[in-house]
Amino acid sequence: MKLILRRWVLLLALLAAVSIQAQINTDQVVNIGRNALYFEDYILAIQYFNQAIKAKPFLAEPYFYRSVAKISLEDYRGAEQDASMAIERNPFIVDAYQVRGVSRQNLGDFKGAVQDYDAGLNLMPEDKNLLFNRAVCESALKNYDEAQVTFDRLLQLDRRNDRAYIGLAQMNLARKDTAAALDNLNRGIALSKNNAVAYVMRSEIHTRSHHDFEKGLADMDSAITLEPHYAGYFINRAYMKYNLDDYFGAMADYDYAIGLDPASQEAHFNRGLLRAEVGDNNKAISDFDFVLKSNPSNFMALYNRALLHMRTGQFRHAISDFTAILKKYPDFEAGYMARGEAKRRMGDVKGSEADMEKAMAIFRRNKTHVSNFNPAEIEATAAVKKAEQRALNPAEEEPESAEDIINRFNMLLTVSEQDPVKPEYANRQRGHIQNDNIEVEPMPVFTLSYYAQDNQLNGNTYYIREIGDINDTRLLPGVLTLVVGEPQLSEDEIQRHFSNIEYFNSLLKVARPRSIDYFARGLDYLLVKNPEAAIADADSAIAMSPNMALGYFLRADAHYMQYRMAQKRDALDMPADAPDATSHAMLRQRQDATALNLMITDLDKVIKLSPRNVYAYFNKGNAYMLQGDYTSAISCYSTAIELKPDLAEAYYNRGLMYLRMGNKALGVADLSQAGELGVLPSYNVLKRMTR
């Protein structure tokens, strides 16, 4: 059931009469932010409201408008917090209760949402959106009588409210009264034929309850006509076509769904099943490979792939799959028999006999000669039960475990290799940016550079005292600064750095060597991607000036570049199935550890010389992250945030680390803060981590 929040243009109009308490500058900033909301520039709007809040933290309006922007970006936790701040400052903003209620509703806090809707209704008793959302929440809480009263009240105010009938249908489905639900949906569709959700719900009743796939297909066709870009509708329609023996049509719908959403596990899984049924075994295996790469815990994909590996004679892979299956279900006698047969086919007679003996021992223990244990049925039944529970009783959905959170976050880290065109996320700053399908990557390290960058949204630049001091000497060929990541240089810029290197080569031959000259040449070497030469020059600079913090920072940057280059080189030069891939990987792992340890050692020296160097802590956190030491990484990011509370990159990376460790609450809080400070990918991760 979609949650209802009126168009924000209307919300802004409703609040136009709210008294203005700020000075002219703050008024102007808030008004510009409101204009950005009109044009769906949510990220830009947040930056303006940040300015207003910083200048006048006692005003309610900037918090409220910022909550509007955040809820539009599906940052429900951040929107809830901002709406609360607005309500604390002005408890008479009706729409602030609605924003907070919808945020809580999306977060599964239905009781809290009802309280907000009641507060809003006390101020505006006939608000239809508040009534509808309140009824939906009461239904989710199984307070069906109270929900019915609220729906009746809504229909008394508006007899032609089609959403009320759809809400009633959802409630009656939860009560397992499909006849009443179907009647509700028929009434709703009669009032408005443009609501795709109504057709989908009616299609579900036709197919699941009445097994009338033709009527279900007709309704799904209507839903797709209204919303042709939603992959889930094509997956549902493929299921109906399959049950009508239209295999070609079902396959076409799965293909189209994957075209709309290449990361859809459901589409790949179902297409794999269909391909296996029609004998297209290798392509079916490819679909199950995709699912398991994204979600290694998908037992059904593993089970089906194991059978297909046996069917296609890929016995080594079959053994691996059945081993994983038997780890979860050690009493699966047929699994031991299948693995034993695969081992026999590969010439492992001893291993085959051992598996067959295990199977016979289970048969003897169970006093049977036929396998009656089917883990696939157990998994399928549990999945169906969980899906029904989630659909009918969202308030009772089991909370995610840390393992569930980690698995879902790991799914975000997989980008489809079939899609070579990666979206340019940095150029997307308008509208619903959370819907962009981006690759989830941490913010990279801060590096020394001559090419200043700033955050286009909040105008932040990155500065430390040592950089100011060295720039004051005017001994460098450019103005030194810090940037996030490695700057991409033009051909002319690259040539300029080679010229600089030649200049310093000549200078160091004829003049008395100075640490600043070695430092400058080392930076030029780094910018033209020669980290070994950069390290040698940093060594010379440090030898001459042991307390030169920037020398250690430069050397740490160079070690990091070595690590990055090795990673990219291996990805290109060493196939995973190469004969010496294993030994090469072990050597590479040792070399990587060495580079990262040297980076950490240099950053520790920077921190000793400059204890408030926030960027050294951040880079050290990234090094620990690459080593897989997420606890230490979080500690470094936390220190960076203590030193610089508006360091958005640290919030973002710490949020990713929390999610990687299964702590969703802290991860979501950090990503919300990072998004507020201008890190656009935060909202995409927040959306994809929200159930």
> From CA 551, how far away is CA 535, in angstroms rounded?
9
- Among positive and negative, which fits the CA dihedral 599, 604, 607, 609? negative
Length of the chain: 691
Fold classification of 298-397 (topology level): 1.25.40
pLDDT of residue 102: 95
The answer to whether the beta carbons of residues 680 and 426 sit under 8 Å apart is yes
Q: Could you state, in order of their start, the residue ranges of all structural domains in the chain?
A: 298-397, 446-644
C-alpha distances in Å from residue 442, one per residue of 74, 160, 485, 618? 20, 49, 11, 12
CATH 1.25.40.10 fits 446-644, yes or no: yes
| Phi, psi dihedrals of residue 481, rounded to the nearest 5° | -155, 180
- The secondary structure element, H or E, covering residue 449 is strand 446-449
Residue-by-residue DSSP string for 217-284: HHHHHHHHHH-TT-HHHHHHHHHHHHHTT-HHHHHHHHHHHHHH-TT-HHHHHHHHHHHHHTT-HHHH
pLDDT of residue 691: 55
Segment-wise mean pLDDT, segments of 10 residues, the chain, 691 residues: 43 36 65 81 84 93 94 92 97 95 94 97 95 95 95 95 94 93 95 93 93 96 94 95 96 96 92 95 96 88 94 95 92 91 94 93 82 74 62 57 63 42 36 53 90 62 85 91 82 87 91 92 90 93 95 94 77 47 55 86 95 95 93 96 94 93 90 88 80 55
Contact present, 564 and 526 (Cβ < 8 Å): no
| Beta strand pairing call for 481-484 and 446-449 | antiparallel
Structure confidence by residue, pLDDT tens digits, 72-86: 888 999 999 999 999
This prediction has a pTM of 0.69
Query: Which pLDDT does position 315 carry in this prediction?
Result: 95
User: Residue 684: which of 445, 426, 454 has the closest Cα?
Assistant: 426
CA 28 – CA 21 distance, rounded (Å): 12
Q: How far is the C-alpha of 614 from the C-alpha of 467, rounded, in Å?
A: 13
Contact 691, 400 (CB under 8 A): yes
Cβ-based burial of 199 (10 A; exposed 0-12, middle 13-18, buried ≥19): buried
Q: 511-535 b/e with 16+ CB inside 10 Å = b?
A: eeeebbbbbbbbbbbbbbebbebbb
Q: Give the integer Cα–Cα distance in Å for 507 and 181.
A: 85
Tokens 């009493």, residue located: 331
**Which residues 6+ apart lie within 8 Å of 687 measured at CB?**
73, 74, 434, 435
Tell me what pLDDT residue 489 has: 79
Task: Check residue 389 and give its pLDDT.
Answer: 59
What DSSP string runs through 308-360?
HHHHTT-HHHHHHHHHHHHHH-TT-HHHHHHHHHHHHHTT-HHHHHHHHHHHH
- Are 298-397 and 446-644 equal in CATH topology? yes
For 177, counting Cβ atoms within 10 Å of its Cβ (0-12 exposed, 13-18 middle, 19+ buried), the class is: middle
Residue 384, classified by CB atoms within 10 Å of its CB into exposed (0-12), middle (13-18) or buried (19+), is exposed
